[in-house]
A and B are shown apart, each in its own frame.
Chain A
Amino acid sequence: MESVRKKDVPVVTVLDPKFKYEVAREPGGENIKYCFQCGTCTSGCKVAELDSKYNPRKIIKMVILGMRERVLSGDFIWLCATCYTCHERCPQDVRIPEVMNALKNIAVREGYIHPAFRAQAELIAGHGRLYEIDELANEKRTDWGLTEIPQGCPEVAEIYGITGLFDLLSREVGGKT
């Protein structure tokens, strides 16, 4: 199926041979250079089994070849469920879910954040958590005999400010704020 070339997906001929070093400098991306393409990761990956868009071995090879734009702009890097099955099994300790995280971090800097992740990052900045703890939630907790929880956590937004994450979240494609 995948060997049939899709007419609307152009062949990538512009390669960036430095891309693999860029990924290897990113936290979690260090071991990408050791991959010898055995395919152990893909063969045990439940996501790859169900969704032909996702193939960890192929993504690693695309990075090594230097297909920077195709990889960073693609939805597929966001499809790793971080189940760590391949992480346990990879004979070269490539640590694939961490490599995917490294790629996602670079993609965010290039303005390619996945909307679901942007939404989560914004919620956490606002409430200090994924879900707001409002009065109703606390009332229910007290009814159950559980402790109340403060409604926000301003230090989380402070951390975003220190690391520059707010700026990154407003970035557009091309990496400009």
Chain B
Amino acid sequence: MKMAVFLGCTVPVRNLSYELSAKRVAGELGLELVDIPEFSCCGYPIKSVHHETAYLLAARNLALAEERGLDICTLCSACTSVLTEVSYELATNEALLDATSETLGMLGKKYSGKVRVKHFVRVLYEDVGLKSIERAIKRPLDMFRIASHYGCHYLKPSKIYDRFDHPEAPESLDRLVSATGAFAVDYRTKKDCCGGAILGVDEETALSMARAKLDDISDRGADAINLICPFCSVMYGANQRKIAANHNVKYDLPILYYPQILGLAMGISHEELGLMQNPIRPRALLAKIS
């Protein structure tokens, strides 16, 4: 299976360990990820400012994948959201597709509505499949308790994601964690948003949103949080110390990207998965497996 990998703006500059581990794991599982250097920002932050521009940015990215006959695999949940939405709208609204193609024509591009978009983890869940993943496990992580943060745009709005997982009772990430042998920790605030989208508008509220989940997951005795989005990583990883200091609490909760968890279970070394390059170094966790 071959797909174009859409890195977005944040992952290739700020979350190299996520990109590295995703590409490494994909290679092992027979998923070929092709880089397209001309990709730009997906358009997500522009949707609040100017709808038409956001749609055109997304459509231009879709067109670049279509030129190469590839569907898109994303790593960032926010990119997933706008690219999926525009792919869905252009596939179902002919008038919009015509108008969009006409404008893209001014840039020497065309788009005929064929590209489908899936988050990397959804590709693992639906296309690679839990069975193949289980077969690839060489070092079951049964010493770990891992709490998954689904985030919002991986699942919702569920209509444009073909309801592949239930928005009110999601299970795909927990099942993927269980497939590695780790214990999938259930917790009360599982469905809640990290607050990342309003960090620049109301920092206090955003960090309080992230805090609620950090508290909950810590109380459940998890060894790590499983993440699949660079924005969620800003909230739970990069800002974890700030939240702890602001609220006078203590956490010891490394964040891991799902492909890092899977990679470890597949027997890949933590260096090759960039674990020590994560925003919080997972020292205690690594001590547990060696």
Contact = CB atoms under 8 A, between A and B. Distances in A.
Interface of A: 26-28, 46-47, 50-51, 75, 78-85, 87-88, 95, 100-102, 104-105, 108, 113-114, 116-121, 124, 128-131, 133, 137, 140-141, 144-150, 153, 155-156, 158-160, 162-163, 165, 168-169
A92 to B, nearest CB: 15
A163 B50 contact: yes
A64 to B, nearest CB: 21
A137 B15 CA distance: 12
A56 to B, nearest CB: 13
Given A80-B198, A105-B51, A117-B49, 19 more contacts: A47-B205, A50-B205, A75-B201, A79-B198, A105-B50, A117-B45, A117-B48, A121-B46, A121-B50, A124-B41, A131-B13, A133-B12, A144-B274, A155-B60, A156-B40, A156-B57, A158-B106, A162-B106, A163-B50
A169 to B, nearest CB: 8
Interface string B1-44: 00000011110111010011001000000000001011011000
Contacts of B19: 146
Interface string B185-207: 00000011101111011100110
Interface string B203-230: 0011011001000000000000000000
Contact of B35 (A50, A85, A88, A147): A147
Interface residues of B, number: 54
Contacts of B49: 104-105, 108, 113, 117-118, 121, 165, 168-169
Contacts of A79: 198, 201-202, 205
Max count, chain B CB within 10 A of own CB: residue among A26, A82, A148, A156: A82
Contacts, number: 164
B208 A85 contact: no
Contact of A146 (B16, B51, B158, B198): B16
A28 to B, nearest CB: 7
A129 B41 CA distance: 5
Say what secondary structure dominates the interface of chain A. Answer: helix
Interface of B: 7-10, 12-14, 16, 19-20, 23, 35, 37-38, 40-41, 45-53, 56-57, 60, 103, 106-107, 152-153, 156-158, 167-168, 191-193, 195-198, 200-202, 205-206, 208-209, 212, 274
Contacts of A165: 46, 49-50, 53
A159 B56 contact: yes
Contacts of B53: 159-160, 163, 165
Contacts of B212: 46
Given A87-B156, A124-B41, A130-B41, A46 B48 contact: no
A51 B208 CA distance: 10
B40 A128 contact: yes
Contact of B209 (A27, A47, A130, A159): A47
30 contacts: A46-B192, A78-B198, A80-B197, A81-B193, A82-B153, A84-B157, A85-B193, A88-B156, A88-B157, A88-B168, A100-B48, A101-B51, A104-B48, A108-B49, A117-B200, A121-B45, A124-B40, A124-B45, A129-B9, A130-B41, A131-B14, A133-B13, A144-B16, A144-B20, A146-B23, A156-B57, A159-B57, A159-B103, A163-B53, A165-B53
